[in-house]
Structure 1
Amino acid sequence: MTIKEVSIDQILPIRQQVMWPDKPIDFVRVPEDEHGIHFGLFVEENLISVVSVFIRGQEAQFRKFATLEQFQGKGYGSKLLQYIFDFLEEKNISRIWCNARISKAGFYQKFRMKETEITFEKAGIDYVVMERVYESSDF
């Protein structure tokens, strides 16, 4: 297993296949993609899990976190997300957040993320903003 920075072109097919298989690939793009840092987890040189990170000052948002279905439930996504948290903690980011599908909120709670009061719906899916806020004593 290897985790490394990858290009946007490498992650778009996985985003689409996992998150919105019935939509065109442009549906899984976000306007900030060209400014993000994109990470992928590889098993035997096959890209199986992806996430994009967008840093703005002391805050970072991760978006479009996706693991191929046949590899879900095996801990790969957790390893990638922990890698992202470690990466951002090294940069002394004070807040890490994401727009989580409400059905997946429990997964993010394992990473000490908390639900906020902000919820919304996109394309028939309900989301909640989740965050992990660091105090200066956490570093």
Structure 2
Amino acid sequence: MVQIEQIYPSLTWRIRQETMYPDQSLDFVKLEDDFDGIHFGLYVNHHLTGVVSLFQNEHNYQFRKLAILPHQQGKGFGTALLNYILNFCKIQNATSIWCNARVNAKEFYAKFDFSEMNQTFTKNEIHYLIMELQF
């Protein structure tokens, strides 16, 4: 059974840390504006398995820290979570949604019609590019 619901920011931190930065402390994955965002958790059989954080700026949204536990990846949970927030943004009358995508994940976002914005950067030795979807 898979369920997605809004969660507290603090519930995202363990999943972020374990999935994205396993060699870093829990404090490393906390975002300065976490308490200004909307956070969603994907539960598999009542176990928190994936998270994503969404931040609004007028009619534009940015999602950050989409993370699925490593042993649960490749099962469609990332797709389910991304579809959920895309539908959420449409209901909110968003005009666009964007993310700082890891370069090695750009094909995943391209499947959802995200476009590369020709802006790249490196942070903590990880290469990113900005990808956006217009509604």
Give CA-to-partner distance per residue, 1:12-45, whole Å, 9 cap, x none. 0000000001111111111110100000000110
1:137 is aligned to: none
Q: Which whole-Å CA distance do the structure 2 matches of 1:133 and 1:119 have between them?
A: 19
SS in 2 for 1:42: strand
2:106 matches 1:110: no
Moved over 3 A (4+): none
Paired positions, count: 134
Q: Which whole-Å CA distance do the structure 2 matches of 1:61 and 1:32 have between them?
A: 12
Q: Which whole-Å CA distance do the structure 2 matches of 1:120 and 1:92 have between them?
A: 29
The 5-angstrom pairing of residues 3-22 of structure 1 reads 3-22=4-23
1:56 is aligned to: 57
1:31 is aligned to: 32
Q: Which whole-Å CA distance do the structure 1 matches of 2:37 and 2:99 have between them?
A: 14
1:91 is aligned to: 92
- Residue 65 (structure 1) shift: 0.4
SS in 1 for 2:75: coil
2:130 is aligned to: 129
Give CA-to-partner distance per residue, 1:96-132, whole Å, 9 cap, x none. 0000000000000111101111100011110000000
Q: Which amino acid aligns with 2:63?
A: F
2:66 is aligned to: 65
Q: TM-score, normalised on structure 1?
A: 0.95
Query: Percent identity of the aligned residues?
Result: 43
Q: TM-score, normalised on structure 2?
A: 0.97
SS in 1 for 2:78: helix
Q: CA RMSD in A?
A: 0.6
Q: Which amino acid aligns with 2:48?
A: L
SS in 2 for 1:104: helix
Q: Which amino acid aligns with 2:84?
A: Y
